[in-house]
Structure 1
């Protein structure tokens, strides 16, 4: 493995090490596009193992800040997603195909059966 491939693999593992980032990518992988509000709701459900109706405004705000100021820009920097903060629209970009096999491996090791049992990416 040359240094470029090793660097890309290390970056992919680093990106997928964070659960919120994996959770939003699982949802995007299933649908190819998503709205920020929908992603916040789904990430909260999986992160807290709770029903969407029980997640309060404070939790949604924390996840919003985390996604907007950390996870979404980082994924966009690696060409994995494209997003428009004004509209809230998020789509997969060309770089997603590079991490898709690794993301599927991560999905199969998740503790939550509702994540593992979804159809393969």
Structure 2
């Protein structure tokens, strides 16, 4: 984790398997999310996660979104399999990101709860 505002850091989430979780399968978050486009965001400034790569993962049976990317710039999601998520949520969703590129992989619309939360 970066120590102060202005630090840049790159992250990789690779070769993971996530099963049977109640909310998000794979996700990023930051407390440096305040900027003109999001004036009520967390923290006092904007500092994006850069170089984020989410690749070669398997996400099964999640109660919410499969993959959530927040406060990232140039994120890449590829070769990741998402199967079994909540119908009222998303397979891959991005908040406060510069770019999210779903490049490859299997994103299957096989909801965990077809009618939404129980």
Q: Choose between structure 1 and 2: higher helix proportion.
A: 1
| Fold agreement, TM-score > 0.5 | no
Q: Choose between structure 1 and 2: higher strand proportion.
A: 2
TM-score, normalised to structure 1, is 0.23
TM-score, normalised to structure 2, is 0.24
